[in-house]
Amino acid sequence: MLTLVAFIVALGLLIAIHEYGHYRMAVACGVKVLRFSIGFGRTLLRWQPHGSNTEFTLCIFPLGGYVRMLDEREAPVDVSERHRAFNTQSLRARALIVAAGPVANLLLAVVLYACVNWVGVQQAAAVLGSPVAGSVAERAGLTGGERVVRAGFVGAALQDVSSFEDVRWFLTRGALESKDVQLSVQAGQKNQIRDVTLALATMGSSEADAGLFRRIGLVSPYSRAEIGEVMAGGAAELAGLRQGDIVLQAGPHRVLDGAQLRGLIRASGQSSVAVASSWKILRAGESLEVAVKPELVQEGAEKIGKINAFVGGLPEFVTVRYGLLDGLWQGVIRTWDVSMLTLRMMGKMVIGDASLKNLSGPLTIADYAGRSASMGVTSYLVFLALISVSLGILNLLPLPILDGGHLMYYLWEWLTGKSLSDVWQERLQRVGMAVLAVMMCIAFFNDINRLWG
């Protein structure tokens, strides 16, 4: 139920803001708006404010919306109201009205990110867990336990880092945009600062998934190698492990943190036969040894080891909060960064450099809506901001059926001095609908694979 409610609220809000952008700009330009509708199909609610020319409706299928304006191309217009028709407006006014919808979504994202910055959010501190063996991070000389104080792309100014999420954001962008990332880290007893360069430019990453961070090597923030909840009948319970045990050594390996221990357990599946190893643990101040035999399970094309217990204690947390102006500016920066990354990923998908698996449909969005809502208000606001950016950027694409396609028509009119013919507009509309239909089918197929594959 939470997933459904969170999805409907998200969709309704983002569509309403998008259409409201069109509506407000049309009114500002003197265009008569006949109807403002959220959703399609049978009308559930209909009202018209006193003194307004606009009928507002809420329909049964909230998968879109529209603003219907007075237009000679759709119906005859009285001579006395011709100056209020959309098609009689200047090129500049028509372009502003069309662009206002996507811009409204981008502005909403800025406000949502700013609200999160003002309220503050608990995030894991920027302390790195042990890198995955053979990964980019290990080759760069990271060992785990380093605190990241600044991060950025090689050749650009480094920025202060507030949390582990900031580090992940730089790593994601670096891998997908083929840029090397530089980290200024604090480590050792004297907390000396040194710079580390992660060679991500040559990774050739085409998909932002869990495998990406395993290849980079920085999967999670630092956490103690502590055993959490133990599942009944699992390998951990059979070995005698209990919640609260601290693992000091697993087989011949000295264990430094939870990330390393998870990696060792996972790597135990590389053997075709499950083998028990001796673990040295600390329980209530007493050192003990137990024999642990991980269970081998198939994950994709490889076998991995599992002990059926939560591995790793809670990381260090910090409260990330900004002042009024700083929070707003950070909202602008994050909206810009997400927009640029979205455009680059779309461009890479078009030319085949990025996987089409990155396309998400309504099922995945609904799933993420429910998950983020269950995690709290701030997580849900971040989710809304991300989807709002995606909706804004998608509508700016030069597909004839989208706002960006209409802007493309106006660009042609500005360059040539004459509008595109009705014949060509109809042909391009068909092409746009076909492309959009293909994108929706791919996104829906990806949804099925993600959720039930």
- Catalytic site residues? 19
CB 148 within 8 A of CB 128: yes
Cβ neighbours of 293 (radius 10 Å): 15
Is residue 139 within 8 Å of 343, Cβ to Cβ? no
Residue 326, CA distances (Å) to 118, 158, 200, 350 in order: 9, 18, 30, 36
Buried b (16+ CB within 10 A) or exposed e, 214-228: eebbbbbbbbbbbbb
Contact 451, 364 (CB under 8 A): yes
Q: Which residue has the tokens 């290849």?
A: 215
What is the Cα–Cα distance from 209 to 165, expressed in whole angstroms? 15
Angle, alpha carbons 281-287-289 (nearest 5°): 55
Residues 53, 56: Cα–Cα separation, whole Å: 10
The DSSP call for residue 221 is B
What crossing angle do the helices spanning 91-119 and 324-351 adopt, rounded to 10°? 120
What single-letter amino acid sits at 384? L
Q: Which residue has the tokens 């109809």?
A: 426
**Strand (E) or helix (H) holding 97:** helix 91-119
Instruction: State whether residue 277 is helix, strand or coil.
Output: strand
Q: How far apart are CA 434 and CA 429, in angstroms?
A: 9
> Taking Cα atoms as reference points, which of 133, 126, 271, 303 lies closest to residue 215?
133
Helix axes 324-351, 377-396, angle to 10 degrees: 50
Tokens of 137: 């991070």
Residue labelled with tokens 């459904």: 4
- Torsions phi, psi for 194 (to 5 deg): -135, 155
